[in-house]
Amino acid sequence: MLYHLLYPLHQTYIIFNVFKYITFRSAGAALTALLASVIFAPFVIKRLKKLKITQGIRENIPGSQVKESTPTMGGVFILSAIIISTLLWADLTNRFVQLILFVTIWLGALGFLDDYLKIKRRGPHGLSPMYKLIGQLLLAAGIGCYLYSSPLVQEYATKLSIPFFKKILPNLGWFYIPFVILVIVGSSNAVNLTDGLDGLAIGSLLIAGATYALLAYLTGHSQFSEYLGIIHLAGSGELAIFLAGLVGACLGFLWFNAYPAQVIMGDTGSLALGGVLGTVAVLIKKELLLVIVGGVFVLEALSVGIQVMSFKLRGKRVFKMAPIHHHFQLLGWAEPKIIVRLWIVGLMFALLSLMTLKLR
């Protein structure tokens, strides 16, 4: 909105020329989302407490009884801050921006419905896992079909960029659609699984979001993408503004979600933010790199898969409890120590992902 209102004035007042630059507007979006989160969060938290919107407890989860009275659905003000900052600072005629906003709203609504049903039933079970999966699949399939038939990502629509390899771009053809579904749905659920300790998921999302903001900027910049030998997609740089807003909103939420948490994001936040991360990876053709950038989320999801498979095939558990952060809790690690150490692991994965831009 500010871009559309103020940038046209640059012909008269040169100072407004700064709105041309994605870097300037990204900084504005991050600051806007951060301030919006910090300013409005106390009112939202107070309202959630008044309405007794708290998460149901699961007896087998360590420390869940302590968090029984913690308000949930904090994802509402995370997503609101992201959307507001994007509407203010991004080019709203950009298809990449329109698509990512649609994904945010769709998955946010799905997560909100899940959280609402948990609150209404006063328990840990909300929307049926089948219905939740159907909602994710419909969205991901729609994105896949749109990209398959749209010139948005140009001639790279069904091609796959492989980390560490510059010129190998396998064409998946129509198989790219189920691949997109796997990336978006997998990312959404992996973040959801990670959201089990105060600040763990939001801190990891902050790191991954900042990494993809840089990748989106480089992908949309013709000179940088040519220098690095990565796919250039005109217009994709605007996604950096959305992701900068995500980083700012995550920082603002972390202020209240840091241990001990005053509010929990709930599925409203985790499903949407995970799906957004997967969608951005697809849009800028960095799908496989998501495995490295979101390494913490991958480890959390893998721990669940390994635990389930091991128990079904061998009748034995590999971990004391899955996801793996609960395994560390049962080993006696303090919750803040687990959180900070996994943040460090996430930062290492992020740095490794950026190294792949040159190690090819």
In a domain, 360, yes or no: no
Distance CA 153, CA 234 (A): 8
The tens-digit pLDDT sequence of the chain (360 residues) is 888 888 888 888 889 899 999 999 999 999 999 999 999 999 989 988 887 777 655 555 655 555 667 888 899 999 999 999 999 999 999 999 999 999 999 999 999 999 888 888 776 677 888 999 999 999 999 999 999 988 888 788 889 999 988 888 999 999 999 999 999 999 999 999 999 899 999 999 999 999 999 999 999 999 999 999 999 999 999 999 999 999 999 999 999 999 999 999 999 999 999 999 999 999 999 999 999 999 999 999 999 999 999 999 898 899 999 999 999 999 999 999 999 999 999 999 999 999 999 887
Kindly list the distances between the CA atom of residue 277 and the CA atoms of 14, 121, 312, in Å, as whole numbers in the listed order.
36, 30, 31
* Cβ atoms 183, 290 nearer than 8 A: yes
In a domain, 235, yes or no: yes
Tally of domains within the chain: 1
- DSSP code, position 261: P
In a domain, 337, yes or no: yes
Angle, helices 295-314/176-194, rounded to nearest 10 degrees? 90
In a domain, 7, yes or no: no
Could you list the residue range(s) of the whole structural domain that residue 45 is in? 21-355
In a domain, 120, yes or no: yes
Kindly list the distances between the CA atom of residue 223 and the CA atoms of 229, 282, 300, 334, in Å, as whole numbers in the listed order.
10, 21, 37, 47
Cross-strand partners of 54: 71
In a domain, 13, yes or no: no
pTM surpassing 0.85? yes
DSSP-assigned states of every residue in 115-171: HHHHHHHTSS--S-HHHHHHHHHHHHHHHHHHHHH-GGGGGGTTB---TT-SS---B
In a domain, 8, yes or no: no
CA atoms within 13 A on the CB side of 228: 22
